[in-house]
Amino acid sequence: MSIDRRWRRCSACKNPIELGATYWVCNVSTCNRKRTGMVFCTVSCWEVHLPIANHRESWAVEKKAPLETLSEPPAVGARHEKREPRRIVTRATAAATQARPPREVLVVASRLKEYVRARSGFNTSDRVLEPLSKIVRDLCDRAIQNAERDGRRTVLDRDIPSS
């Protein structure tokens, strides 16, 4: 009994690509999706798909086929990758999130720098982002309190305190 050494077939010429052999893939992500999964036995075969794919800029990436296949094929409809469990947000998890709000930068750096440069011609340090984010957080906290005081669950423009 001969052992089948085929891993996959070339997407262009349909020749077999053997286990452990070198093959090429397109660097464009749409050619490498699970459903598409285009593989090519030579760079010439990769070039065949270019006129059809209409990529702006692409190149062939050399890869190595696995040395062995799965001992038995996966069941129909089986998932190969392990997925993260879905995160279900309940009132309890929402309350926990409110207890410790994120301390990330809230200001878009490129827009801030663009504004300062247009307004004054000055450059802006990246170290400005955290203090400005703190000011934005404080304003948001006061706006939340104003909305709660008025019995609303939506923060409106009128809730933001004027400076």
Please give the pLDDT value at position 115: 94
Beta strands in the chain (DSSP E): 6-9, 16-18, 22-26, 60-64
Query: CA-to-CA distance for 111 and 101, rounded, in angstroms?
Result: 24
**pLDDT per residue rounded down to tens, the chain (163 residues):** 556 788 899 988 999 999 989 998 888 888 878 888 889 998 888 888 888 787 878 888 888 988 887 655 555 555 555 444 444 444 444 555 556 666 788 888 889 999 999 999 999 998 999 999 999 999 999 999 999 999 999 999 999 998 6
CA distances from 124 to 108, 113, 128 (A): 12, 6, 7
Contact 25, 31 (CB under 8 A): yes
